[in-house]
């Protein structure tokens, strides 16, 4: 049985740990609010670009672009995986990485059939330990990222599709559902299939066509707009993933704080029982000594 001093030391160290986890919970909550606002405010931007692209596809006959068409043979698939740089965020990273690894094992029989673009130190270390092919990496992304922080990686990834290194690209990230819930999500980034078909009824197509007057040609506009749209989808997934990360970290630190409270209660109870037993033993020894002298 632990001594009173040992129990008291554990109570003190657990209280200090609780202070740390409580502080981290509050910091994560503040970062979550900012990240959630940023992710939400970016959505209308990508939706507007999609609307313009759909308008061009609906109003121009014979418009085509390699980024809008499935390739006949998919020789290599790219996966953009968005994780965190640090731990202490519950199952935020482990659930995503397990899902990515499982899908890769189901879809591919050789490392030559896929490549990874990894954001976040946790994901990078995970794939490097398993000797999985990493084509690009980015670590140290700020808690509140700007587009310039990922612009080079995003544009290079889109260029890898254009150059034929990848025949299709998926993004894997944690979609923010709520402060206590995140959903592992796979989104097909390239090719942007379905955009030219998902233009609705003839009435809706006419509305889209009348809304924009554009020049020069539709092909030239798509040539510049589609890569930027794909890059913005990567940035949007990163913002969504950051909000999920802070939500997961806040929940994990809250659970740690609650566990610390429970442990402090158990240790305090054990301390009181041990102290009471020690006092009782001392009384018995005094009484026994007195009786022996009488």
DSSP codes, 240-289: HHHHHHHHHHHHHHHHHHHHHHHHHHHHHHHHHHHHHHHHHHHHHHHHHH
Residues of the chain with pLDDT under 50: 196-201, 205-210
CATH number of the domain at 150, please: 3.40.1380.10
Q: Quick one: which of 22, 32, 28, 49 has its CA closest to 233?
A: 49
User: In this structure, is residue 264 part of a structural domain?
Assistant: no
- Length of the chain, in residues: 294
- Provide the mean pLDDT of the chain: 86
Tell me, yes or no, whether 10 lies in a domain.
no
The tally of domains found in the chain comes to: 1
Centroid of chain to Cα 229: 21
Does residue 128 fall inside a structural domain? yes
- Taking only the tens place, the pLDDT of each residue in 191-212 is 886 554 444 445 554 444 445 6
Residue 9 within a domain? no
19 lies in a domain? no
The residue written with tokens 């544009």 in the block is: 155
Whole-model pTM: value is 0.83
In a domain, 261, yes or no: no
- Nearest one of 25, 14, 69, 91 to 250, comparing CA atoms: 25
- Rounded distance between C-alpha atoms, residue 85 and residue 154, angstroms: 18
Q: Which residues of 228-252 are buried (b: 16+ CB within 10 A; e: fewer)?
A: ebbbbbbbbbbbbbbbbbbbbbbbb
**Contact predicate 233/164, CB 8 Å:** no
Q: What is the residue range of 113's domain?
A: 26-250
Indicate which residues carry an active-site annotation.
89
For the segment 7-61, what is each residue's pLDDT rounded down to a tens digit? Answer: 888 899 999 999 999 999 999 999 999 999 999 999 898 888 888 777 776 655 6
The answer to whether residue 237 is domain-embedded is yes
Is 280 contained in some domain? no
């Amino acid at each position: 049985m632990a001594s009173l001093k040992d129990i008291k030391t554990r109570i003190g160290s657990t209280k200090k740990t609780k202070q740390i986890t409580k502080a981290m919970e509050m910091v994560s909550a503040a970062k979550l609010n900012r990240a959630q606002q940023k992710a939400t405010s970016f959505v209308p931007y990508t939706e507007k670009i999609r609307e313009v692209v759909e308008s061009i596809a609906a109003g121009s006959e014979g418009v085509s672009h390699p980024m809008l068409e499935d390739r006949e043979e998919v020789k290599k698939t790219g996966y953009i995986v968005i994780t965190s740089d640090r731990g202490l965020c519950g199952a935020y990273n482990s659930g995503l990485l397990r899902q990515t690894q499982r899908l890769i094992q189901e879809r591919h029989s050789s490392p030559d059939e896929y490549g990874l673009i990894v954001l976040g130190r946790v994901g990078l270390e995970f794939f490097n330990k398993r000797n999985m092919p990493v084509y690009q990496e980015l670590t140290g992304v700020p808690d509140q990222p700007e587009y310039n922080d990922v612009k080079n990686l995003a544009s290079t990834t889109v260029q890898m599709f254009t150059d034929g290194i990848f025949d299709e690209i998926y993004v894997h990230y944690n979609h923010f559902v709520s402060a206590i819930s995140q959903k592992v999500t796979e989104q097909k980034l390239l090719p942007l299939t379905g955009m030219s078909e998902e233009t609705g009824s003839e009435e809706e197509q006419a509305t889209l066509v009348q809304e924009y007057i554009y020049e020069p040609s539709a092909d030239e506009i798509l040539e510049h707009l589609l890569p930027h749209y794909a890059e913005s989808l990567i940035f949007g997934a990163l913002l969504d993933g950051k909000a999920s990360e802070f939500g997961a970290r806040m929940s994990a630190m809250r659970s740690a704080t609650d566990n610390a409270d429970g442990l402090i209660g158990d240790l305090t109870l054990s301390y009181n029982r041990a102290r009471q037993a020690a006092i009782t033993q001392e009384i018995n020894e005094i009484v026994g000594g007195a009786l022996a002298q009488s």
